[in-house]
A and B are shown apart, each in its own frame.
Chain A
Amino acid sequence: MNVVEQLLQILLSPTIIIPLIFPGLLTTFLVIIFIAWFERKLTAKVQLRYGPLYVLKSLGGLPQLVADLLKFLFTEIIIPKGSDKKAFILSPIFLFTLSMLPVVAIPLSNSYAAFFSDLSLLLVLALLTITPIFMLLLGWSSNNKFSFIGSLRDGYLMMAYEIPMFVSILAMAVAYDTLDLVQVVGRQSSGLWGIALNPLAAITFFVAMLMTTARFPFDVAEAESELVIGPYTEYSGIIFVLCLGASYAKLSVLSLFFAEVFLGGWNPLIWPLTLNPILPGVAVFVKGLLVMGLCVFMRSIYPRFRIDQVLKLGWHTLFVLSVASVALSLGIVWVLGF
């Protein structure tokens, strides 16, 4: 009895629940199912189609992705002869895990996070910067020219988004005078959210976020008409799903992050309501889903840039914007004296 109780205690402890259930794996999985459905449904609406429909017609085909997943589970995983087998199988797993991992550092209320750190603002981004390495490994190990070019493009993309992304977050850190996400949200309780405080940083971060998660118009690494599906060309079955899931997981994590830094996190919920993590968590997720919805909506508006144009945009426009956002933050701090 004692053992069971102890086991339950361990299982229900935040360090387990957060990465695995809320806001971790399970919730992210549900969010991915929803957002992938929403993306397809929204695009279909714009494009005068139905989109997913037949899997549970009453829900408008919502579980379509579950059906697809089941199908992929039973698809044979083909490992090409010339590939580096270990890297080929392991890199999607690492890619997905690392894309998910930053979720542990994102607090969902004042007291609900798997990993409290006074550097959590940086930690989330720092964990995400590891993923391009596995993307490169993925393309290299496939031993396919399209995979290789695709992963190289992903590497180049990283050069374009990484610095503006960090600098724009630096701007917010300056404005809030903290690197702790809990405090970042706390600072926004006045009602002046980050997006209003420093819109430049918000725009920069949003565009960099589109690049990170390979949303349109920055879909250059997976550009179907040029590179088949870029780094994942040789993948099949469930490891292919992991590859695709990684970009959605990243999107989900970054959207939550965006919601906390720029959209006030669990504000305007106040003290007694924030005690239980469910309600503030839902608030953050709703905001995050809105951001995700906006990201996936880009697909129906924009075609795809060319890689050199993305790099140019990254360095000529985004970088300048991000530096300007730091200046803006400094100005704000100077004027308002935060």
Chain B
Amino acid sequence: MSEEQTLELLIGPQHPGSGHMRLVAEMDGDVILNFEPNIGYVHRAVEKIAETKTYVQIIPLVERTSLPDTANHNLGYVLALERLLGIDAPLRAQYLRILLAEINRIHSHLYGMGIHGNMIGSTTMLMWAFGDREPFIELAQRLTGARLSYSYIIPGGVRRDLPQDFRNDALKALSYMERRLKDYDRIFVHNPVTLARLKGVGVINRIDAARIGVVGPNLRASGIAYDVRKIEPYCIYPDLDFEVVVRDEGDAHARLLVRIGEIEQSISMIRQILGKIPDGSILADRYLDLVPSRTRFEKRSSVKFPALFSGLKPSKGEAVSRVEASRGELFHYLVSDGSTHPYRFRIVTPSFKNLIAFKHALLGQKLADIPAVYGSLDYFPPEADR
């Protein structure tokens, strides 16, 4: 192929379809010969900032890496920190953590589906999905007091107890979502145009998926039943009955269907959690004893960050944690030198692992497939850049 026959197309960072990144596509006519994502436009050096913050200050910081998926990022970090500290959260707190994590997974998947819909031109899917995130964001707000940046999960427990009327509203939201999923199916998921756009597009086969190390729904859409919630179950996942949604096609449509399957699984998990959440404390006894006004805490059933957290000093050592965030496996690695700040903090976010899929899934595809595949990967640039 001689130089003159190809066209180098720079998509982004100022482009409605690129997100905070630059996509460099080498085109031969309408066919992509080479594809290189260029990221870093929203790099905020979270790992470096973390070295200057106390352990508890890092909780809101890690949430900033991925705003649609804060609960899982919060959880992943706190699990690593708890391993360093050597404490466990009480059972009720564990249930509440997973409750929030699954609520978050639903609205994060809806976010991804909405963007995906918009990218292939279905503004209806965008508006519906974003509209239907609202009940879940509201639920999370009831539980945590915040719409997106919850900072709900703290070392040794959670910040607030389940509100009084939460259960009924949650069940209402869940059955609403189940109805809506049927609507989505008709207008978008099995719309003939969607099928034409997504079927067989951006295929990552099983072998490639493992080789290039994509994670999350993208991996499971390629036929690998890898889900951290099953492989290395954390919190109360062993007690919950759920399936790992797997599809074998590996194309953009399979990735969409896996996300929808996961929303269904999350709905069922939230029902189970609401059904069997045990009574008890929401903060580990070790910290509860140190909370100055224990009686007030019990009356208000919420934890005001106790001053002791600001001086949290884990012993020297290292801890890793992995959780299944909405976009895939989220890895935290924490090195402590015994001071109040981590010596080294490493996050590998699912979007960063999925970045490589762009290079592989788009080769030989058409120009118009770039947004179709981009959306199907549910790639979130700020999460990748950290």
What is A's interface to B at a CB cutoff of 8 Å?
A: 43, 46-49, 145, 149, 216-217, 219-220, 223-226, 228, 299-309
Q: How far is the CA of A13 from the CA of B122 in the complex (A)?
A: 47
Residue of A nearest to B372 (CB): A306
Residue of A nearest to B7 (CB): A145
CB distance from B172 to the nearest CB of A (A): 17
Residue B196 interfacial (CB < 8 Å): yes
CB distance from B194 to the nearest CB of A (A): 5
CB distance from B69 to the nearest CB of A (A): 22
Residue B118 interfacial (CB < 8 Å): yes
Inter-subunit contact A47/B196 (CB<8 Å) = no
Inter-subunit contact A308/B120 (CB<8 Å) = no
**A47 touching B127 in the complex, CB below 8 Å, given contacts A145-B9, A228-B15, A303-B121:** yes
The residues of B that contact A303 with a CB separation of less than 8 Å are 117, 120-122, 125, 188, 191, 193-194, 197
Residue B30 interfacial (CB < 8 Å): yes
Known: A47-B131, A225-B16, A226-B368. 18 other contacts (CB 8 A): A47-B124, A47-B128, A48-B128, A216-B121, A217-B193, A219-B121, A224-B16, A224-B17, A225-B121, A300-B124, A304-B120, A304-B121, A304-B368, A306-B196, A306-B366, A306-B368, A306-B369, A308-B30
Q: How far is the CA of A226 from the CA of B15 in the complex (A)?
A: 8
Residue of A nearest to B367 (CB): A226
Residue B203 interfacial (CB < 8 Å): no
Flag B177-189 by CB within 8 Å of A: 1 or 0 each.
0000000000110
Main secondary structure on A side of the interface with B: helix
A-B contact number at CB 8 A: 82
* B368 contact from A223, A228, A299, Cβ within 8 A: A223
Inter-subunit contact B121/A308 (CB<8 Å) = no
Which size bracket describes the interface of B in this complex?
20 to 34
Q: Give me the 4 closest cross-chain CB pairs, A-B, nearest first.
A: A304-B121, A225-B17, A47-B127, A225-B371
Flag B1-45 by CB within 8 Å of A: 1 or 0 each.
000000101000001110000000000001000000000000000
Q: 16 A-B pairs, CB-CB below 8 angstroms?
A: A46-B124, A47-B128, A47-B131, A216-B121, A217-B121, A224-B121, A225-B16, A225-B121, A226-B370, A301-B124, A302-B193, A303-B122, A303-B125, A306-B368, A307-B30, A309-B197
CB distance from B208 to the nearest CB of A (A): 23
Q: How far is the CA of A301 from the CA of B191 in the complex (A)?
A: 8
Inter-subunit contact A300/B123 (CB<8 Å) = yes
Inter-subunit contact A305/B197 (CB<8 Å) = yes
Q: How far is the CA of A198 from the CA of B172 in the complex (A)?
A: 50
Q: How far is the CA of A299 from the CA of B187 in the complex (A)?
A: 12
Residue B221 interfacial (CB < 8 Å): no
The residues of A that contact B15 with a CB separation of less than 8 Å are 228
The residues of A that contact B371 with a CB separation of less than 8 Å are 225-226
Inter-subunit contact A305/B196 (CB<8 Å) = yes
* B196 contact from A49, A224, A309, Cβ within 8 A: A309
* B17 contact from A43, A226, A305, A306, Cβ within 8 A: A226
The residues of B that contact A48 with a CB separation of less than 8 Å are 127-128, 131
Q: How far is the CA of A49 from the CA of B117 in the complex (A)?
A: 17
The residues of A that contact B122 with a CB separation of less than 8 Å are 302-304
The residues of A that contact B117 with a CB separation of less than 8 Å are 303
Residue B119 interfacial (CB < 8 Å): yes
The residues of B that contact A216 with a CB separation of less than 8 Å are 121
Residue of B nearest to A43 (CB): B123
**A306 touching B121 in the complex, CB below 8 Å, given contacts A48-B127, A226-B17:** no
The residues of A that contact B120 with a CB separation of less than 8 Å are 225, 303-304
Residue of A nearest to B365 (CB): A306
* A307 contact from B131, B368, B370, Cβ within 8 A: B368
Q: How far is the CA of A262 from the CA of B249 in the complex (A)?
A: 44
The residues of B that contact A225 with a CB separation of less than 8 Å are 16-17, 118-121, 371
The residues of A that contact B187 with a CB separation of less than 8 Å are 301
CB distance from B221 to the nearest CB of A (A): 19
Residue of B nearest to A302 (CB): B193
Flag B160-194 by CB within 8 Å of A: 1 or 0 each.
00000000000000000000000000011001011
